[in-house]
């Protein structure tokens, strides 16, 4: 039925382009919060898309994303809050490396996985007039919870 409607419609269906890239981030030790709004906005500006949406997706189980204020003292408060939720010093089954088949360089990082679960792995933000439709104090923040490491964030833009 849908195919019939498409063939016989007086309206032309237009496909929106979908463009993606990876943002690479060299992280610092332990918990570190990176402001990645400028990289995302630069990517949008490099395309012809003026209106649509951007998907930002963290590709790791011990990293996360959030939209919040990029203010130094708040970022420190967030780190303290996350450490209270999942203290590194607590005992976790995941950290019993001798009971699991793991690579030689496997870190003891159950606390990092648990912190990541309290945040999110992706965000979708509208694009309006070629810019992120963020509020005045909103920024896209990437959370490293088990650094230092080389990390990637997948960014996908769709629109017109």
C-alpha–C-alpha distance, residues 109 and 98, integer Å? 14
Express each pLDDT in 10-46 by its tens digit: 766 678 899 999 999 999 999 999 999 999 999 999 9
For 130, counting Cβ atoms within 10 Å of its Cβ (0-12 exposed, 13-18 middle, 19+ buried), the class is middle
Element (H, E) at 75: helix 72-85
Q: For residue 19, how far is the Cα from the chain centroid? A: 17
4 against 34, higher pLDDT:
34
C-alpha–C-alpha distance, residues 144 and 148, integer Å? 8
Express each pLDDT in 127-138 by its tens digit: 999 999 999 999
Tokens of 151: 């990390």
Tell me which fold the domain 17-90+109-159 belongs to.
Jelly Rolls (2.60.120)
Mean pLDDT of the chain: 94
Q: What is the DSSP letter of 120?
A: B
Tokens of 63: 């990293």
Tell me what pLDDT residue 66 has: 98
Report whether pLDDT(69) > 60: yes
pTM (two decimals): 0.89
Angle (nearest 5°) at CA 141 between 139 and 147:
160
C-alpha–C-alpha distance, residues 89 and 24, integer Å? 30
Percent of the chain with pLDDT over 70: 92
Tell me what pLDDT residue 143 has: 98
Backbone angles phi, psi at 48, to 5 degrees: -95, 5
Tell me what pLDDT residue 14 has: 72
Tell me what pLDDT residue 15 has: 81
Beta bridge partners of 122: 57
């Amino acid at each position: 039925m849908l195919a019939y409607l498409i063939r016989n419609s007086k309206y032309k269906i237009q496909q929106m382009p979908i463009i993606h890239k990876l943002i690479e981030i060299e992280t610092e030790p332990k918990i570190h919060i990176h402001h990645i709004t400028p990289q995302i906005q630069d990517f949008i500006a490099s395309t012809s898309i003026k209106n649509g949406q951007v998907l930002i997706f963290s590709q790791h189980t011990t990293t996360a994303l959030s939209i919040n204020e990029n203010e130094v003292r708040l970022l420190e408060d967030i780190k303290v809050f996350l450490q209270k939720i999942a203290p590194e010093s607590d005992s976790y089954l995941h950290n019993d490396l001798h009971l699991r088949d793991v690579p030689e360089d496997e870190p003891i990082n159950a606390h990092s996985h648990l912190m990541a679960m309290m945040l999110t792995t992706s965000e979708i933000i509208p694009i309006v007039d070629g810019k992120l439709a963020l509020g005045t104090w909103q920024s896209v923040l990437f959370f490293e919870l088990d650094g230092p490491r080389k990390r990637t964030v997948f960014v996908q833009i769709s629109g017109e």
